Amino acid sequence: MMDVEGYRLHSWGGEPQWETFVVPTPGPGEVGVEVEACGVGLTVLNCMNGDLDNDESLLPLTPGHEMVGRVVELGEGVTSLAVGERVVAYFYLSCWRCRACLSGRESRCERLAGWYGVHRDGGYAPMTVLPAGNAVLVPEGIDAAAATAIPDAIATPVHVCHTRLGLRPGDRVAVIGAGGGVGIHMLQVASAYGASVAGLERGERKLEVIERFGGIPLDSTDFSAVKLSDFGGEADAVIDLVGTPQSLAWGFEHLATGGRLCVLTTFRDVELRVDPRELVFRESSVIGSRYASRSELLEAAALVQSGRVTPVIGATAAPADVGDLHEELRAGNLDGRGALVWTGS
């Protein structure tokens, strides 16, 4: 066990508090990791709001799921990792033994135990303990803040673009919400697989970011006015990161024959009306996408290491200033996402 100073969440929807607490010794099958940095995006805010689970028995909790760090201690029976190796955290607490896990589809785990940073302490502390299966090797040469984008903000787009949509060179893709922390990486990953990409967003700043990273910026303040002129009015794939009735309806209406609408962001009581006759005659698809596999985290890291995808970290903060990052995120002022940096803090 080790006493550390870090953040603890005491109420769902509240702000995490800086305090001293104990990080346990790794148990069987677990590893202890010294945290270099932890990503700060809308997902971590949603987790702290209780959107994934709001069970009071989980509190107090150290949030933060996009962790990068170095293994410093091995629990009993761990042979897959060595002290000193650099890892990022796989978000889903999968069992690694069911049919889905054994077939490389760990995000569909049949015995899912929850999420790192929600059902066990995450990276808003300088030390963390996690199952060895959730510690995925990451290259040494990637900056710590940049590496925080790999396990979610880039791995999720890899799963969408490569596995769920099978994008190929020449595909026309529209990303709804392309200026956000996941969206700006979705745009880059789709481009890396050869697609031409249009990015829908609101606000001049986000539209400028889309253009900076090679996308066609389209103002979606009014969906009825959004035209895919560069694509002949339709897309082979639409990726919806917004999940409103308006965005979903626009996406389905603008599919080309054989087109696919991929949905990632969901809200309770939001529905999409789909005409089965149109699905058949146009051979369209509506696809859901759920996180990524561990191999896709490795693929995401390779895209970063090769320079084909650039992590977009709008701001970094020392531990004392993480609240400022939260406020910037809520105000929509960050390009991409933020990072809480522990190394050298």
Length in residues, the chain: 345
- Express as a percent the part of the chain with pLDDT over 90: 93
Average pLDDT on 132-145 reads 96
Query: Of 126, 167, 186, 141, nearest to 307 (Cα)?
Result: 141
Average pLDDT of the chain?
96
Q: Which residue has the tokens 């029976």?
A: 77
For the cut 80, the answer to whether the pLDDT of residue 1 exceeds it is no
Quick one: residue 15, left, alpha or beta (phi over 0 = left, psi -120 to 50 = alpha)?
beta
Identical topology for domains 2-149+311-341 and 153-288: yes
Nearest to 122 by CA among 147, 156, 93, 96: 93
Mean pLDDT in residue range 289-313: 97
User: What is the CATH T-level fold of the domain 153-288, as seen in this structure?
Assistant: Quinone Oxidoreductase; Chain A, domain 1 (3.90.180)
C-alpha to C-alpha distance for 144 and 140, rounded to whole angstroms: 9
Q: How far apart are the first and last CA of the chain?
A: 22
Residue with the two structure tokens 């933020």: 338
Q: Where exactly are the structural domains of the chain?
A: 2-149+311-341, 153-288
| Strand ranges across the sheet with 235-240 | 216-219, 196-201, 172-176, 235-240, 255-263, 285-288
Question: For position 333, what pLDDT does the model report?
Answer: 87
> What is the distance between the alpha carbons of residues 70 and 84, in angstroms, rounded to a whole number?
6
Band (pLDDT 50/70/90 cuts) for residue 319 is very high
C-alpha span between 153 and 189 (Å, rounded): 10
By the 8 A CB rule, do 323 and 15 touch?
yes
Alpha helix positions (H), the chain: 42-48, 99-102, 144-147, 155-158, 183-192, 204-212, 245-253, 276-282, 294-305, 322-330
Q: How many CB atoms lie within 10 A of CB 46?
A: 12
Q: What is the dihedral of CA 131, 137, 138, 144, to 10 degrees?
A: 30
Predicted structure pTM score: 0.95
Question: Rounded CA gap, 220 and 85, in Å?
Answer: 44
Instruction: Please give the average per-residue pLDDT across 287-294, as a whole number.
Output: 96
Q: Is the dihedral of CA 183, 234, 290, 60 positive or negative?
A: positive
Q: List C-alpha distances in Å: 9 to 45, 66, 71, 206, 284.
A: 11, 17, 25, 31, 44
The DSSP letter of residue 107 is G
Q: What is the pLDDT of residues 183-219, one digit of tens each?
A: 999 999 999 999 999 999 999 999 999 999 999 999 9
The CATH T-level fold of domain 2-149+311-341 is Quinone Oxidoreductase; Chain A, domain 1 (3.90.180)
